[in-house]
Structure 1
Amino acid sequence: MMKTITASDGHLLNCWFEPAVGERRGGIAILQEIFGVTDQLKGVAAKYAALGYEVAIPALFDRQERDAVVPFDQAPRGRDMMLASDIEQTVIDIDAAVKALAANGGKVGVIGFCWGGGLALRAAQDLDIAAGVAFYGTRLPQYLDRPLKAAFLGHFGTLDDHVPAEMLDQAKAYLPEMEIHMYEAGHAFANDARPSYVADAADLAHARTTEFLAKHVG
């Protein structure tokens, strides 16, 4: 269900919460692509909630436009909103979701997709989390300015023109402790609502993520 949470600067933002199924193992914050809190992301939340995690998806566009959900065929609109976002404000919005999960007990991990994948890297550098996971995280160079504080796993496609090989090599050189897996796929290969979806790659990436979270979160 959608609830309102409060960031440390007083900003009120919406956040989708998916309750854990069965015994709660910890929390996971899922960070959006440039399309907002979509039904597709809510489906991802349900997948991890079924594993015993309480899941939260903060609405990271709420500072630009409340309740913004951008259709997948209107990427330029989402990109504009992403570019208008202030990274420091976005991180404290993520932290609000992390703290809401932590208040219910256990460790918290973060999973991000596309824009959210890069933000998951920043969360693993700045926030009190146990683990971070990026699915084809973008804009990586802007995050190569500080060390990791949490374990980090990245999934990237060999055909992803948003994250060229040289960009990923730069990130791996700066943060060699990252665990990186490559897939024969392009960008957004794990989004089952888009033509870019590659089922085999997505299934393997989620399986590796499940194992990683079980190790580091609970």
Structure 2
Amino acid sequence: MSHEQHANPRQNVTFDSASESGHAHGYLRVPDSGSGPGVVVVQEWWGLTDHVAGIVDRLAAEGFVALAPDLYGGRTTHDSEEARRFLVELPPERAARDLAGAVTYLLQRPETTSSTVGAVGFCMGGAFVLTLAAQQGERIGAAVPWYGVPGPDTDFSGVRAAVLGHFGEEDASVPLDAVRATEQRLREQAGVDARFEVYPAPHAFYNDERPNYRRESAELAWGRTTAFLREHVR
């Protein structure tokens, strides 16, 4: 596949990555206070959209130094078939290298006060968050997947982060059986505190750009997320 970089106005930082180009791009926001704990935000399969940038902005307003890596090299879409193609064309190992580079970049930023970072991801990004936590071990203090889990053969033994998940009971794409099985495997393989909350909502209930948005569930899960990050990212 081509790794051509597309222009995306949301990109405002470049950081080292082990990907073929040697670098990756992303959207960073620092809180008005000038410093805070670091959090990586992992996009949905639509790309680094205004919605994802808005999550970064909202985390910065809550006092976090937040970074969303651009895993699609600037491409975004609102078409599900195109999003599926983007996802298929994204080698998981390259995504993992870019995300690992984002963790290193955040930890090295002078504004970052924490010795670990939090990882928050949505849909595709939720699955990547748990994979990242398994790969990065003690560098991830808190992992927060929203309505996304990796495959059943994922090895969670390297996870050292506390885990808080958010899932919709009406989500046809992420069955609750798979959610509970993932939660149990995290506890058994990693021995970490893993808690998956379930809401009366469909898939992608936090995305206010999509018809599945459910404000009450979204705001409840958001409040739980920020409290969790404050507790575990130090």
TM-score, L = length of structure 1:
0.91
Superposed structure 1 runs of 4+ greater than 6 Å apart? none
1:36-47, aligned counterparts within 5 Å?
A: 36-47=47-58
Aligned residue in 1 for 2:231? 215
- In structure 2, relative to structure 1, the CA distance for the partners of 1:198 and 1:139 (3 Å cut) is same
1:170-209, aligned counterparts within 5 Å?
A: 170-176=181-187, 177-209=193-225
Q: Is it true that 1:112 corresponds to 2:121 in the alignment?
A: yes
The gaps in structure 2 that reach 5 residues or longer are 1-10, 188-192
1:142-153, aligned counterparts within 5 Å?
A: 142-144=153-155, 146-153=157-164
Instruction: State whether residues 156 and 186 of structure 2, in contact with CA within 8 Å, keep that contact through their aligned partners in structure 1.
Output: no
- In structure 2, relative to structure 1, the CA distance for the partners of 1:214 and 1:12 (3 Å cut) is same
| Count of residue pairs brought into register by the alignment | 212
Instruction: State whether residues 145 and 165 of structure 2, in contact with CA within 8 Å, keep that contact through their aligned partners in structure 1.
Output: yes
C-alpha deviation, 1:8, in angstroms:
2.5
Amino acid in structure 2 at the alignment position of 1:51: E
Amino acid in structure 2 at the alignment position of 1:35: W
Instruction: State whether residues 126 and 149 of structure 1, in contact with CA within 8 Å, keep that contact through their aligned partners in structure 2.
Output: no
Secondary structure of the equivalent of 2:180? helix
Aligned residue in 2 for 1:15? 26
Amino acid in structure 2 at the alignment position of 1:58: P
CA distance in 2, matches of 1:37, 1:125: 23
The one of 83, 87, 91 equivalent to 1:82 is: 87
Instruction: State whether residues 149 and 182 of structure 2, in contact with CA within 8 Å, keep that contact through their aligned partners in structure 1.
Output: no
Q: CA RMSD in A?
A: 1.6
The gaps in structure 1 that reach 5 residues or longer are none
C-alpha deviation, 1:145, in angstroms:
5.2
Aligned residue in 2 for 1:92? 97
1:162-177, aligned counterparts within 5 Å?
A: 162-176=173-187, 177=193
CA distance in 2, matches of 1:169, 1:180: 8
Q: Percent identity?
A: 31
- In structure 2, relative to structure 1, the CA distance for the partners of 1:174 and 1:147 (3 Å cut) is farther
Q: Could you report, residue by residue, the CA deviation over 1:128-177 in whole angstroms, capped at 9, with x for unpaired residues?
A: 21111011114442434534221111000001111112211221221134
Q: Could you report, residue by residue, the CA deviation over 1:106-133 in whole angstroms, capped at 9, with x for unpaired residues?
A: 2311100000000000111111211110
CA distance in 2, matches of 1:56, 1:92: 15
Aligned residue in 1 for 2:144? 133
Aligned residue in 1 for 2:5? none
Instruction: State whether residues 39 and 120 of structure 2, in contact with CA within 8 Å, keep that contact through their aligned partners in structure 1.
Output: yes
CA distance in 2, matches of 1:142, 1:50: 37
Instruction: State whether residues 30 and 45 of structure 1, in contact with CA within 8 Å, keep that contact through their aligned partners in structure 2.
Output: yes
Instruction: State whether residues 125 and 147 of structure 1, in contact with CA within 8 Å, keep that contact through their aligned partners in structure 2.
Output: yes
